[in-house]
Amino acid sequence: MKKTVKKALSVAAISAMAIGAFAGTSFNGNSAEAGSTYNPKGKAKNVIFMIPDGYSASYATNYRWFKGEESAMDSILVGMHRTYSANSKVTDSAAAGTAMATGVKTNNGMISTSPDGEELKTILETVEEKGKATGLVATSTITHATPAVFASHVPTRADEAGIAPQLIENGVDVILGGGKRYFPDALLTEAKQDGYNVVSDKSALASSVGKSDKLIGLFASDALAPELDRDETNEPSLAEMTQSALDVLKKDKDGFFLMVEGSQIDWAGHDNDAAWAMKDSEAFEKAVEKALAFAKKDKNTLVVIAGDHDTGGMSVGNANVEVLRNITATGDFMASKLDANRSNVKNVVKQYTGLDVTDAEAAKIQSAKDAGIAINQLVSERARVGWATTDHTGVDIPVYAFGPGADLFRGLLENTDFPELMAEAMKLKYGKQK
């Protein structure tokens, strides 16, 4: 597997995106091209909540240029949401996810617990109490902040070993992602005894449907590979995991709740890696297409899509993002291929990006503290993509929705509105306290 390293908008842009999106959208939350006949005010039997971590309006705009046409999400844009946490204008994924899963603002770093340490009921737990099946899918460790908030309660997101058993104890029916290191053999043995089918690679996942109503897929010791590096692994894509999850969950006659996270869009933003960001946005869109295809056929499924926050403060320049299509590796991977003196910078960058590096650019990479980020900065300059930071920012985030209940998500929301609105779409009573 290629080595990867994880490091901990303008109004005009979002306005332009909104105008473009609403131009192709009817006022019932349904794409004018979708051909679905669902009742926009009807009851949602199923909910698919999709979270492209770190994804903002600028990512959406650059991705549209990268793809060369509108994305599958553009025609179902319905609003935006605010992301601040209980103790900061700029949230982290734990606090943002907690708000989106429980309806309560908490402090950065906390997993579905209030600032004073009280456990908070999640939308997933509420759905389970009503007899519906549930699932979590991510390209990070499945114990990472965003998936963790839906089915665990710990004071700090760092306690992934403490999160893992809670996912099983809390009855999540489908668990797909990375993080095998946090699931000891004894825990997986107990899971098998409880009826889980446990798989560990792409081929086993493909043949898993029909073997059990419960599925655990742990495809890497840590996080899965970035989409740019997937060809060197036997790991499934986000779209493949999403389809497998749907194939299992749809068998529950009472319905289901599924959360799907495109985890590594955020990590690309932390690294200012524009190619990684676009390629994982593409992988996320393919998963969205699986969800929308299911919802259009089913007509009783609500699909809600919203990033938890922005990462990196990406900007949109005089579009040249087409150069990103030719890049075949992350900046981290390219940095791992440099020799001790970084004297082969030009050859490495040329091999994986197709770009010719000047002497001045090579010298800058050779002297950089972090060669991977220096390579990413070079690529971003060529693609005319700017970055404000390697951390999160506090801008509002686009919200997309399709299916029965889509109308509920229109306008400017708080991130705490999501679980209550999803419960309302399912005609369920939602309570925030455990």
pLDDT at 67: 96
Count Cβ atoms below 10 Å from residue 363 Cβ, excluding itself: 13
Phi, psi of 41 (to 5 degrees): -105, 10
Cα separation, 323 vs 383, whole angstroms: 6
Quickly tell me which residue has 């030009």 as its tokens.
Answer: 346
> CA dist 28 to 39, 41, 198, 207, 377, Å?
9, 8, 40, 38, 42
What is the secondary structure of 72-124 as a DSSP string?
TTGGGEEEEEE---SS-SS--HHHHHHHHHHS----TT-BSB-TTS-BB--HH
Cα separation, 199 vs 9, whole angstroms: 41
Of the candidates 273, 303, 279, the one whose C-alpha atom is nearest the C-alpha of residue 290 is: 303
Cα separation, 88 vs 106, whole angstroms: 10
pLDDT at 433: 58
Count Cβ atoms below 10 Å from residue 305 Cβ, excluding itself: 29
Structure tokens belonging to residue 217: 């897929």
Phi, psi of 398 (to 5 degrees): -65, 150
Of the candidates 50, 8, 91, the one whose C-alpha atom is nearest the C-alpha of residue 286 is: 50
pLDDT at 432: 62
Cα separation, 323 vs 339, whole angstroms: 25
- CB-based contacts of 290, cutoff 8 Å, min separation 6: 239, 242, 243, 246
For the chain, the distance separating the N- and C-terminal CA atoms, rounded to the nearest angstrom, is: 41
Three-state DSSP state, 269: helix
Cα separation, 32 vs 75, whole angstroms: 8
In one-letter notation, the amino acid at residue 76 is I
Cα separation, 265 vs 147, whole angstroms: 15
- CB-based contacts of 421, cutoff 8 Å, min separation 6: 405, 408, 409, 413
Count Cβ atoms below 10 Å from residue 386 Cβ, excluding itself: 16
In one-letter notation, the amino acid at residue 380 is S
- Return per-residue pLDDT of the chain as tens, 434 residues: 343 433 333 333 434 344 334 333 333 344 434 445 567 678 999 999 999 999 999 999 999 999 999 999 999 999 999 999 999 999 999 999 999 999 999 999 999 999 999 999 999 999 999 999 999 999 999 999 999 999 999 999 999 999 999 999 999 999 999 999 999 999 999 999 999 999 999 999 999 888 899 999 999 999 999 999 988 899 999 999 999 999 999 999 999 999 999 999 999 999 999 999 999 999 999 999 999 999 999 999 999 999 999 999 999 988 688 899 999 999 999 999 999 999 999 999 999 999 999 999 999 999 999 999 999 999 999 999 999 999 999 999 999 999 999 999 999 999 999 999 999 999 998 876 55
pTM of the predicted model, to two decimals?
0.91
Of the candidates 7, 83, 4, the one whose C-alpha atom is nearest the C-alpha of residue 391 is: 7
Quickly tell me which residue has 């009503």 as its tokens.
Answer: 130
Cα separation, 58 vs 315, whole angstroms: 6
**Rama region for 195: left / alpha / beta (φ>0; ψ in -120 to 50; rest):** left
Single out the catalytic residue among 31, 93, 208, 281. Answer: 93
pLDDT at 34: 43
Structure tokens belonging to residue 417: 């509105």
Cα separation, 121 vs 128, whole angstroms: 11
Three-state DSSP state, 358: coil
In one-letter notation, the amino acid at residue 302 is L
Cα separation, 266 vs 310, whole angstroms: 8
pLDDT at 320: 86
pLDDT at 209: 80
Domains of the chain: 17-317+388-425 (3.40.720.10), 321-383 (no CATH)
Count Cβ atoms below 10 Å from residue 410 Cβ, excluding itself: 14
The radius of gyration of the chain from alpha carbons, rounded to an integer in Å, stands at: 21
* Residue 114 is a catalytic residue: no
